[in-house]
Amino acid sequence: MLFTGHADLNIDAKSRLAIPAKIRAQWSEERDGQAWVLVPWPGGVIRVYTERAFQDLAESRGATLTPESDEAELEAALFGSAERVEPDSAGRITLPKQHLQLTGLSGEVVLVGARNRFEIRDRARWLAEEQERFNSLPALVSRVERQKRDR
């Protein structure tokens, strides 16, 4: 599933977030799974993957019984904080309290499409950084392309 665009939303008093109808309309339980997987990320972000996409990405990394210490720590931090959440009948998901505490998110947020996931971000911060983000696109593309070449 390809996630593009953005939508302004609110986290309600019960820590629920309504997934927009345009995203729910694209959802296929057969292709995407029954749930979402949420991963808190530094910088005030919650990354949201379809259940199937998260599983596919997790399985794409080679698994071993004896990972190097950095990889073992990364796996514990990443998978230990990831939470699977099922939408309710109204298409809302309940955001884990720990994720909200770690990211500082509450109230007004923006749901941002990010290719294979969407991200929940603070709306005021997203809007305040919009022009800077737009202006930095050429330099960001150059850095990403250079990193790809260096691998």
Structural domain of residue 119, as residue ranges? 6-124
Has residue 140 been placed in a domain?
Answer: no
Sheet of strand 6-10: strand arrangement: 6-10, 108-113, 118-122, 45-50, 36-41, 83-85
More confident residue, 64 or 12: 12
pLDDT at 72: 82
Please write the tens of the pLDDT for every residue from 37-67.
999 999 999 999 999 999 988 888 777 666 6
Contacts of residues 4-8 at CB distance under 8 Å and 24 or more positions apart, as own/partner, are 4/113, 5/113, 6/110, 6/111, 6/112, 6/113, 6/126, 7/110, 7/111, 8/108, 8/109, 8/110, 8/123
Please write the tens of the pLDDT for every residue from 13-44.
999 999 998 888 888 888 888 899 999 999 99
Please write the tens of the pLDDT for every residue from 117-138.
999 999 999 999 999 999 999 9
Q: What is the domain-level CATH number for residue 105?
A: 3.40.1550.20
Has residue 68 been placed in a domain?
Answer: yes
Number of domains in the chain: 1
Has residue 28 been placed in a domain?
Answer: yes
